[in-house]
């Protein structure tokens, strides 16, 4: 079976579930669809199809990119927040999956627990896409990989440094780099390092691609020679009460001119946004010549269109 057929009808819960060849195929397809859009070539792959979008966490980029993506592919996106569903009144995730599958051709969910996404996928009869959980953010990292490839011309052999909280973005970057042969160094404070099970799984993925994974508490070590520097907010959604405590702990991990002096001279800077200038990143970096954060934000659209087109097309 070829890769395109192998992807048809699949769920996207984690990049760990996909082979290196499949991830590279998704990126190739995203680049192809991006070019078709630029040239105004018809690519209505999902004409007459509907995507249910469940949002238990709010979003700008996720909602707009999926909704616009479905429109450009000829389909329709249906926005459902927590108040629109019976989940808040006790209907199970399993029953929600069973019911929605009778109406729609795919489901995207942005929520808290990874187990909820897994349960939805188990009982839904249509592809389920993880739009973000507290554990993983696979769609964001597909956009990141597409952006890096556009600016660097390749992925394998590059070094990516991630500074900050060992969160969902960090976890999916570990998988994304391991699957594409990128070396990744994560620097985070003690107590905020990435999940050990995720690191172990990523290291297993890295055996095939010979990707090197380094976990450290030293930001200078992580950034040394990096081709790509990435960070994220220090307090994610639901952690607002920890903001001040985290600001003090993470201060040495701010991405600024001093810390990036050790990176490759032509490094690029990524951030999934929204960003807090003066906290996890200085204005001189995110608004400077190394920043590609708005290319990255745009590529959420193209990467997700590739996912939608491959998983949901006939």
| Cβ partners under 8 Å of residue 31, min gap 6 | 146, 149, 150, 302
Q: Catalytic pick from 137, 149, 246, 290? A: 137
| Cβ partners under 8 Å of residue 196, min gap 6 | none
Q: Is 144 annotated among the ligand-binding residues?
A: no
Q: Is 168 annotated among the ligand-binding residues?
A: yes
The token pair at 222 is 């992580």
Q: Is 177 annotated among the ligand-binding residues?
A: no
Q: Is 180 annotated among the ligand-binding residues?
A: no
Residues 103 and 5: their CA atoms lie apart, in Å, by: 23
Q: Catalytic pick from 116, 165, 227, 232? A: 232
Q: Catalytic pick from 16, 56, 105, 140? A: 140
Q: Is 89 annotated among the ligand-binding residues?
A: no
Q: What Å distances lie between residue 134 and 15, 76, 110, 170, 289, CA to CA?
A: 15, 27, 9, 11, 31
Q: What Å distances lie between residue 77 and 53, 162, 169, 224, CA to CA?
A: 7, 33, 25, 43
Q: Is 149 annotated among the ligand-binding residues?
A: no
Query: Does the active-site annotation cover 272?
Result: yes
Q: Is 1 annotated among the ligand-binding residues?
A: no
SS3 state of residue 54: strand
Instruction: Give the residue among 158, 180, 164, 256 at the shortest CA–CA distance from 27.
Output: 180
CA geometry: angle 292, 18, 167, nearest 5 deg: 50
Q: Is 60 annotated among the ligand-binding residues?
A: yes
Q: Catalytic pick from 10, 171, 290, 300? A: 300
| Cβ partners under 8 Å of residue 56, min gap 6 | 81, 82, 87, 109, 110, 111, 112
Contact 139/208 with Cβ under 8 angstroms? Answer: no
Q: Is 140 annotated among the ligand-binding residues?
A: yes
Q: Is 63 annotated among the ligand-binding residues?
A: no
Q: Is 86 annotated among the ligand-binding residues?
A: yes
Residues 74 and 149: their CA atoms lie apart, in Å, by: 27
Q: Is 110 annotated among the ligand-binding residues?
A: yes
Q: Is 200 annotated among the ligand-binding residues?
A: no
Q: Is 151 annotated among the ligand-binding residues?
A: no
Query: Does the active-site annotation cover 63?
Result: no
Contact 140/299 with Cβ under 8 angstroms? Answer: no
Query: Does the active-site annotation cover 140?
Result: yes
Q: Catalytic pick from 177, 227, 254, 272? A: 272
Q: Catalytic pick from 16, 63, 110, 290? A: 110
| Residue with the two structure tokens 């032509």 | 266
Residues 309 and 287: their CA atoms lie apart, in Å, by: 33
Instruction: Tell me how far apart the 2 most distant CA atoms of the chain are, in Å.
Output: 55
Query: Does the active-site annotation cover 290?
Result: no
Binding residues for L-ornithine are 168, 232, 236-237
Residues noted as catalytic: 110, 137, 140, 232, 272, 300
Binding residues are 59-62, 86, 110, 137-140, 168, 232, 236-237, 272-273, 300
Binding residues for carbamoyl phosphate are 59-62, 86, 110, 137-140, 272-273, 300
């Amino acid at each position: 079976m070829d890769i395109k057929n192998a992807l048809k009808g699949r769920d996207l819960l984690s990049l760990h579930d996909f082979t290196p060849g499949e991830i590279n195929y998704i990126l190739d397809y995203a680049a192809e669809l991006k070019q078709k859009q630029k040239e105004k070539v018809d690519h209505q792959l999902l004409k007459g199809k509907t995507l249910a979008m469940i949002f238990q966490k709010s979003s700008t980029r996720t909602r707009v990119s999926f909704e616009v993506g479905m429109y450009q592919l000829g389909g329709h996106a249906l926005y459902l927040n927590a108040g629109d569903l019976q989940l808040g009144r006790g209907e199970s995730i399993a029953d929600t999956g069973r019911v929605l599958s009778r109406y729609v051709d795919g489901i995207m969910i942005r929520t808290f627990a990874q187990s909820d996404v897994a349960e939805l996928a188990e009982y839904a009869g249509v592809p389920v896409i993880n739009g973000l959980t507290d554990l993983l953010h696979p769609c964001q990292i597909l956009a990141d990989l597409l952006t890096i490839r556009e600016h660097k011309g390749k992925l394998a052999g590059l070094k990516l440094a991630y500074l900050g909280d060992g969160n969902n973005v960090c976890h999916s970057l570990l998988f994304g780099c391991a699957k594409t042969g990128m070396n990744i160094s994560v620097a985070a404070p003690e107590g905020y390092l990435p999940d050990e099970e995720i690191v172990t799984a990523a290291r297993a993925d890295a055996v095939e691609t010979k990707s090197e994974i380094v976990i450290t508490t030293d930001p200078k070590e992580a950034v040394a020679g990096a081709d790509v520097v990435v960070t994220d907010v220090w307090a994610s959604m639901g952690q607002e009460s920890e903001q001040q405590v985290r600001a003090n702990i993470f201060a040495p991990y701010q991405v600024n001119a001093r810390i990036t002096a050790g990176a490759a001279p032509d490094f690029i800077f990524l951030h999934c946004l929204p960003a807090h200038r003066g906290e996890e990143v200085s204005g001189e970096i995110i608004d400077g010549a190394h920043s590609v954060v708005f290319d990255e934000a745009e590529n959420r659209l193209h990467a997700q269109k590739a996912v939608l087109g491959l998983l949901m097309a006939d």
